[in-house]
């Protein structure tokens, strides 16, 4: 039995992903637990934990904190979930660290490519994740009235550029006379109740490592509209929702057209939501393929 500690922030998306992995990995003889990096731990406590841990699994920024606790690089596996993470770690501890940690991976192909562009010169694994479909499932609503967005309303990347662009979603709501509902959740278990209030979920991001809300909202049977970033670059063209251009004016123009159409055609709206939800059931749910990639990666 291998002992793994996910050193991460456990409340939001990271909580959803890593607590799921803890349960999914156990049948494969991997005992995984979550240790919050939000707390401060005495050095003797971390030493005690490390003596009973084969590998700590964390983001590139988490590597910085583990090194400060005295955890040896060979005991660290790093997984990048976003570009900001890779660049911040590069600025703080450089790129040589990747030569000494046990393994490095990313949650998407785009982050693998970005890692290479940023100068990471080691073997890079891609370990995608899924969702628990049943946790988010609900019956699609009958018509389009309320829209919202998953994740942060606004956030800056490493270069100080706003990437979530929630203001564009509010602009779509204003253009179409739809009610915009802002989330106020603080834990991943409360996210499904937010989607229950919505009829459509819009992702306006200019960059994403994966884009978990598009997967969750699709499972909830909501109309999903998003930019071609993260996983939605692939799934948005195959049935996972409706893709919108990244460029702001085109995003607003097409988004307004699409939302207006489905607002005025409730039968088509319900049909599309059912189709998106079925796509989510078949493509987003945690499955053996996803889990097996993690099992191999954590060896």
The CATH 3.40.50.2000 domain(s) of the chain lie at 2-130+286-297, 133-283
Judge whether 233 and 226 are in contact, CB under 8 Å.
no
Query: Which residue is listed with tokens 């049935």?
Result: 239
Which strands sit side by side in the sheet containing 179-180, from one edge to the other?
179-180, 146-148, 200-203, 223-226, 242-243
For the 2-130+286-297 domain, the top CATH level (class) is alpha beta
Encode the chain (299 residues) as per-residue pLDDT tens digits: 999 999 999 988 999 999 999 999 999 999 999 999 999 999 999 999 999 999 999 999 999 999 999 999 999 999 999 999 999 999 999 999 999 999 999 999 999 999 999 999 999 999 999 999 999 999 999 999 999 998 889 999 989 999 999 999 999 999 999 999 998 777 889 999 999 999 999 999 999 999 999 999 999 999 999 999 999 999 999 999 999 999 999 999 999 999 999 999 999 999 999 999 999 999 999 999 999 999 999 98
Tokens of 281: 């059931």
CA-based end-to-end distance of the chain: 11
Please give the CATH superfamily to which domain 133-283 belongs. Glycogen Phosphorylase B; (3.40.50.2000)
């Amino acid at each position: 039995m291998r002992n793994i500690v996910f050193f991460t922030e456990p409340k939001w998306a990271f909580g959803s992903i890593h607590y799921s992995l803890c349960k999914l990995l156990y049948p494969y003889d991997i005992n995984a637990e979550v240790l919050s990096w939000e707390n401060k731990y005495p050095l003797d406590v971390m030493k005690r934990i490390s003596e009973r841990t084969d590998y700590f699994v964390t983001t590139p920024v988490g590597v910085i904190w583990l090194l400060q606790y005295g955890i040896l690089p060979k005991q660290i596996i790093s997984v990048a979930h976003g570009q900001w993470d890779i660049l911040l770690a590069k600025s703080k501890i450089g790129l040589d660290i990747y030569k000494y940690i046990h393994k490095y991976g990313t949650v998407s192909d785009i982050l693998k490519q970005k890692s290479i562009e940023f100068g990471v010169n080691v073997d890079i694994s891609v370990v995608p994740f899924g969702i628990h479909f049943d946790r988010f499932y609900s019956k699609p609503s009958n018509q389009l009235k309320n829209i919202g967005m998953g994740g942060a309303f606004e956030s800056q990347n490493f270069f100080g550029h706003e990437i979530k662009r929630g203001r564009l979603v509010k602009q779509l709501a204003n253009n179409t006379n739809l009610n915009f509902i802002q989330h106020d959740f603080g834990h991943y278990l409360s996210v499904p109740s937010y989607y229950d209030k919505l009829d459509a979920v819009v992702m306006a991001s200019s960059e994403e490592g994966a884009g978990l809300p598009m997967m969750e909202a699709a499972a909830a049977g909501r109309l999903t509209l998003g930019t071609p970033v993260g996983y939605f670059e692939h799934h948005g063209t195959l049935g996972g929702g409706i893709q919108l251009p990244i460029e702001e004016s085109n995003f607003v123009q097409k988004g307004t057209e699409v939302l207006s159409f489905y607002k005025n055609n409730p039968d088509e709206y319900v049909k599309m939501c059912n189709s998106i939800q079925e796509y989510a059931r078949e493509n987003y749910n945690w499955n053996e393929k996803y889990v097996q990639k993690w099992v191999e990666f954590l060896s």
